[in-house]
Amino acid sequence: MGYKEITVCQDETFHPETCLVAIEPDSNFIILEKYADSRKASEWTQCMKDATKSLPVKIIQSTSDEGKGILHHVKKDLGAHHSPDVFHVQHEIVKGSSAPLSRKTKKAEDDLQNASDHLIRCTREKEDYENSEMRRGRPPQFDKRIEHARIQVEAATDCLEKTKANQSQMKAMIEKISDSYHPVDIETGMPKDAQEVSDSLNECFLQIETVASEAALSEPSFKRIRKAKKVTADMVATIAFFWVYVRAKVSALSLDPNIETVVIEKLIPAIYLRHASKKAKSADIRQRIHKQSEHILHSLQDIDSPFIGLVPDKLVLILKVSEECACLFQRSSSCVEGRNGQLSLRHHSLHRLSNRKLSALTTVHNYFIKRNNGTTPAERFFTSKPRDLFKFLLTKVDLAGRPAQKRVKLLQRQLLQPIT
């Protein structure tokens, strides 16, 4: 394995001891999976140092939540860039707005139902009065009551529509945060700089705050929204970091200016879209993004493409560097979250995972589990196929001895025979 710069996703899990987990997301190779005394920055730094001391790698970026220990470990001790997890930004807004807006919608539905029932009662009272025998005195003002009830129904209907609109708009803006947080426009395939992403995120939070104000959400809800908004500065910084790194990597290839421009503006965005299409939430979106990626890649094979005439070795190097650049942007630590879920299932059945058991599970994940293309995380991480795990175990593990032969059980003969 040659030297390479990597991104890691980091998180902690508890069973009940603190277990620190770090995964290289592109290969899904587990770099660190170890029990520690705490999740402080010093623990993270020491464990990561031990885990990478024999690997020719440099960690240039970490994707995680906003835990203080991890932030200090990444920014101060590793000197790497920290990329925030977009899920935690969205989740913070959901926790602050979803339940309050749902309660308001439920109350509006109940108010509309009560108002409709009242209107029906008023109408029936008028009908019953008109169908009954004439009574002395002035008749009740049924029309006035019915009109007042109808006004209440209209007001309740408007209120319900407004609360539902607030819910829909809040959901749309939360989803738009995810769509905006890309270095490439997923619809057009055009690169997006930090300023474009910043403007888009600010617009999302402006709409979110507007909806929260119209819905008269409580101060704790606004506090969660403001907490999520603070992370946008790091999200914009991640976009800037991505493009600075990409330009530096491509510039190191010493390409022709026309080729360099095409690599940055078309080839890398197309490869990024190909990876993004696999992570989209619905088949329609996946197909649309993949189609856009294929369209850009197909245009690079035209007769006018600047890649025409390049020697094969040079083209292979350009594709390799472009793939590395496209995989640099990591906005989610879901690979670690999934691994933590698996460890939790193991923990629940065994009550406690020993260090030996945890090490065995890590080895099985890295060297045995395969994707559909038949590669293990270790093969993708080291870019070479390791030895077969089962054959390796056969050479290292002493085979059990042959079991003892089953003894024939002799029939017990009576000591004295009866006299006949």
pLDDT one-digit tens code per residue, 47-73? 999 999 999 999 999 999 988 999 999
Segment 165-174, tens digit of pLDDT: 999 999 999 9
Q: Whose CA is closest to 187, among 276, 267, 249, 127? A: 276
pTM, entire model? 0.83
Q: Taking the chain, what is the end-to-end CA distance rounded to the nearest angstrom?
A: 90
Among 85, 88, 93, smallest CA distance to 333 is for 85
Which of 19-23, 118-122, 401-405 bottoms out in mean pLDDT, i.e. has the lowest?
A: 401-405
Query: What average pLDDT does the chain have?
Result: 89
C-beta of residue 9 within 8 angstroms of C-beta of residue 63: yes
Mean pLDDT of 222-250: 94
Model pLDDT for residues 200-210, shown as the tens digit of each residue? 999 999 999 99
What pLDDT, on the 0 to 100 scale, is given for residue 296? 92
Distance CA 139, CA 27 (A): 82
Per-residue CA distances from 38 to 128, 152, 210, 371, 378 (Å): 75, 58, 41, 33, 28
Please list, in sequence order, all residues whose beta carbon lies within 8 angstroms of the beta carbon of residue 255, skipping any fewer than 6 positions away: 263, 318
What token pair was written down for 78? 């590793």
Return d(Cα 113, Cα 370) in angstroms, integer: 56
